Amino acid sequence: MSNILTIFLLISTLFTGLFWTYYQIKKIKNMCLRKKIFNKNIDHKYLEKIEYKNTFFQSLSSFFPVFLIIFIIRSFIYEPFQIPSGSMMPTLLIGDFILVEKFSYGIKDPITHHTLIHKQFPKRGDVVVFKHPIEYNTDYIKRVIGLPGDKIEYNENTKHLQICTNYLITKNCNENLLIKYSHSRQSEFTQKLYFFDQNRSIQNNKIYHKVYYDIVEENINNLKHNILLLEGIKSVKQDYYQQKDMKKLNWIVPEGQYFMMGDNRDNSLDSRYWGFVPEKNLIGKAVKVWMSFNKNENEWPTGIRINRIGNIY
């Protein structure tokens, strides 16, 4: 969907730009013709007719500056996104509208996403929008947890991380990152757990139990952010991504790729399940919530959350 809109803006900009250029050239010719009026006997009515005759295409050309500005801003500076799911709670909520800084990691071709000018690499802890490595036309938003060369170990029982850096170079875990977790406390966020009652009719076979998330502060080398956990809930071990020549729940991040995780750890499809994100798939860094509607997934908004507007950490 994002690419379709980009292509539409590009075509609209080029199309209106052709007519805008044509009428600018025509305007210059008319100015030259007006100057000659003092030296030659030129019909004033004819001059006014060719200067002020307005056509559909002339009106269309007036949209060129608008399309050009929108295309440049959206393709190279900032792009708005809406948060459709709760995988990044509590950092980002369903109904948040965010701005993504497109030039954070360099300038890219808006169609092919090939890097034209490189700026810097993502930092651990950045909240990043990217193209899914398998479903390329789908945009995801997650937090950068693992950098190239890291070895990551995930404990499915405690849901804690262990990360050692430069593993690809040193082949050992002498450089472990200091990772701390605060005591958990109950949050205001809830999750519906659905069950199927076979004794009910097909129309009413969905029942659910609502449970509260625990909120925990994750501190990775003094990079702090809150995560949500569901006590007693864990994924099937076979569902996790199995890297070649590695045991389950252990991954080594290849060069030029990143390990992404959602802050809502028990409700996030991320690198634990489908692997790494190549640098070329990165769209930009999420920097600000500019609008937030109070809503649930697949429901209409019920209000505006003014207190949500601000920077993203």
Q: What's the pLDDT tens digit per position in 277-289?
A: 999 999 999 999 9
pLDDT at 197 over 80: no
Domain ranges of the chain: 2-74, 83-311
Residue 203 pLDDT grade (very low, low, confident, very high; cuts 50, 70, 90): very low
Structure token digits, residue 167: 């593993």
Which residue in 234, 253, 238 sits closest to 168, CA to CA? 253
Going by C-beta distance under 8 Å and a sequence separation of 6 or more, which residues neighbour residue 42?
33, 36
Mean pLDDT calculated for residue range 222-237:
89
- pLDDT score at 202: 45
Q: Do residues 290 and 306 touch, judged by C-beta distance below 8 A?
A: no
Neighbour-count burial for 295-305, b at 16+ CB within 10 Å, e otherwise: beeeeeeeeeb
d(CA 154, CA 248) in angstroms, rounded, equals 9
- pLDDT score at 35: 65
Mean pLDDT calculated for residue range 295-307:
89
Mean pLDDT calculated for residue range 232-260:
91
Query: What's the whole-number average pLDDT of the chain?
Result: 87
pLDDT at 131 over 80: yes
228: helix, coil or strand? strand
Q: Tell me if the domain spanning 83-311 has CATH number 2.40.30.10.
A: no
* Cα 313 from chain centroid (whole Å): 14
Q: When comparing pLDDT for 30 and 86, which is higher?
A: 86
Q: What's the pLDDT tens digit per position in 32-66?
A: 766 665 555 555 555 555 555 567 778 888 899 99
Mean pLDDT calculated for residue range 187-216:
71
Catalytic residue among 102, 108, 131, 142: 142
d(CA 262, CA 11) in angstroms, rounded, equals 35
Which residue in 285, 224, 275 sits closest to 252, CA to CA? 275
268 is catalytic: no
d(CA 282, CA 140) in angstroms, rounded, equals 10
Structure token digits, residue 113: 């996403």
Q: Do residues 163 and 146 touch, judged by C-beta distance below 8 A?
A: yes
- pLDDT score at 27: 80
Q: Do residues 71 and 9 touch, judged by C-beta distance below 8 A?
A: yes
d(CA 299, CA 53) in angstroms, rounded, equals 50
- pLDDT score at 52: 53
d(CA 243, CA 252) in angstroms, rounded, equals 8
The reported pTM is: 0.85
Percent of the chain exceeding pLDDT 90 equals 62
40 is catalytic: no
Q: What's the pLDDT tens digit per position in 142-177?
A: 999 999 999 999 999 999 999 999 898 888 888 899
